[in-house]
Structure 1
């Protein structure tokens, strides 16, 4: 089967490797432009947080009902959203569409697990634990503090 790097219908174009840290990513949305390794915060097309909010009320003026716009002050959140999840990825920017395809064997390996039980078994595997420990030892934690 031939491979076209520009074919958006080819599922192999949805799986790319970071050129810096070599982590493999699956594109869930967006184009083939610039992204960053570990970029998982997707923004809205319109930033609603900076726009004023209005409330329309029906009022009677001189015996006639009309709509009147009342600007509502922006509410401050009661609780700041917090997460205990750590960012994954090195944060380096790269152009998604310019990255080479992942090797066929690696793609097949990514989709090898069929059930949760298989995944648990692989995670309990000593090779997985060793690989994970090696990976975590290479993480520069000073950047995230």
Structure 2
């Protein structure tokens, strides 16, 4: 299930401090299995119930980078959107995401350098009131001058 703002592009000329976009997604067993296949990260904490029960998480969890990928989706599809180039991302994993959790990924503009087309974004994912991931992204935003 995806519940997100309209997709598209917000050009650097229209980006303002405080702008925010987000999406919500239920993380499914299939998502975790597909991510394991694509990434080749088959750590049993993600895939094996019996193994995961005996870890500090007391059950299976989604890959942290699967959750971080939702931030990438907001940046690439909404803010700034199509044509954005990722330049950097810091991440802190705060809490696990479990199969069946609904993750809300959000980005908020914290700085804009119009002359260099650089946008700094606060990035955050939450499950309910629990922040599961936070960080900061630096991106190169599209411009109408280069259409």
CA radius of gyration, larger in: 1
Higher strand share: 2
Q: Normalization by structure 2: what TM-score?
A: 0.20
Q: Normalization by structure 1: what TM-score?
A: 0.20
